[in-house]
Structure 1
Amino acid sequence: MFPERMRALRRGCGLTLGQLADALNEMDVSYNQKKNTRSQLSKWECGVNTPTYLDIRQLAEFFDVSTDYLCGRAIKKVDLVETLASSADVCFGVQKLDTKEKGELYELIKGFLKGRKERGLRGTVEENGDMQLNLENFDEEDDRC
């Protein structure tokens, strides 16, 4: 699962393996001082070699995802109705929502879903064509295993 997730994240950012290696090498991280190479990253994406925990941590930080996500662990589903109705803290970025705001958010989502159903737009973002990957810097040679 790691190779597929890494490749998808890199391609989604429009980076070649060489560009990703350079970007990782420019990161100021105290826990991982070794230099990354295009060849090394290619071997990770192809499943030939496995990155260390520190490498995975650096990739997760770069792509702003969790190490669990990169390693393919299942993402827990969250029931928004239950969460918004509970006394649990709900935050948007760094702003904590109060009870009234959680109720307003519930009504917004409910209205959005009702409108989407009425318009017959029940597909996913990808199916509706609203999501486009940046393939400007796509290099097929970087993606061969």
Structure 2
Amino acid sequence: MHRPPVFYLAMTYNNSKEDFGMFPERLKALRTGRHITLAELAQELNKMFPSDQHHENTASQIGNWERGIRNPSYLEVRKLATYFGVSMDYLSGRVDNQTTDLSKLFISGVALSFNEQPLAANDRYEIYQLIDGYLHGKQNRKKTEFEHQEELDLGYES
């Protein structure tokens, strides 16, 4: 029996200081933007990626990444990018403009809150519907140009 050849994709990731120039700042900004502690981020990553039990994330490990003392592995950067819903290039500082598609964020499994109030699944759906309806209505609105505007005196005196 003839077996087809097996091809392996070799990926290299340069773990040098230069590649992680913006990483500490971006990681801290993403974490503090969600109002979570280092310990909470570590717990969330461990919960989201349970298959990596031999190398669970810790608050001190993430703190070292944020301070630029240590650099995370490729897999850790990928986990963080997935958790925060950003690209690895954004997280490492290779690209500056990171936009977030709210529709994808609302349907993702990422915990969301508004003014520190957690959003339940039905809240997320309702907010999604409100934004979608607003944008749909905005696109279909006709712009009315007024040539002139008249003042109406209702006879009330202040």
Equivalent of residue 48 in structure 1, options 66, 69, 72: 69
Aligned residue identity for 1:22:
Q
State the 1:75 CA deviation: 3.7
1:28 counterpart = 2:49: yes
Greater share of residues in helix: 1
Q: Deviations over 1:54-74 (max 9, x none)?
A: 000000000000000000012
CA separation of 1:76/1:59 partners in 2, compared to 1, >3 Å: closer, same or farther?
closer
Aligned residue identity for 2:81:
A
Q: Secondary structure at the match of 1:48?
A: coil
CA separation of 1:16/1:73 partners in 2, compared to 1, >3 Å: closer, same or farther?
same
Measure the CA separation in 2 of the matches of 1:73 and 1:57: 14
CA separation of 1:46/1:76 partners in 2, compared to 1, >3 Å: closer, same or farther?
closer
- 8 Å CA contact 2:90–2:97 kept in 1: the answer is no
1:62 counterpart = 2:83: yes
Bigger Rg, structure 1 or 2: 2
Q: Deviations over 1:23-68 (max 9, x none)?
A: 00001365x4520000000000000000000000000000000000
Q: Deviations over 1:73-131 (max 9, x none)?
A: 12469xxxxxxxxxxxxxx86xxxxxxxxxxx9x96xxxxxxxxxxxxxxxxxxxxxxx
Aligned residue identity for 2:72:
P
Q: Secondary structure at the match of 2:75?
A: helix
Measure the CA separation in 1 of the matches of 2:30 and 2:97: 20
Unaligned runs of 5+ in 1: 78-91, 94-104, 109-145
Q: Which residue is 2:92 aligned to?
A: 71
Measure the CA separation in 2 of the matches of 1:50 and 1:76: 23
Q: Which residue is 1:84 aligned to?
A: none
Higher-RCO chain (CA-CA 8 Å, sequence separation at least 6) = 1
Unaligned runs of 5+ in 2: 1-21, 105-135, 140-158
Q: Which residue is 2:153 aligned to?
A: none
- The two structures, once aligned, show a CA RMSD in angstroms of 2.6
Aligned residue identity for 1:11:
T
Identity of aligned residues (%): 48
Q: Secondary structure at the match of 2:57?
A: coil
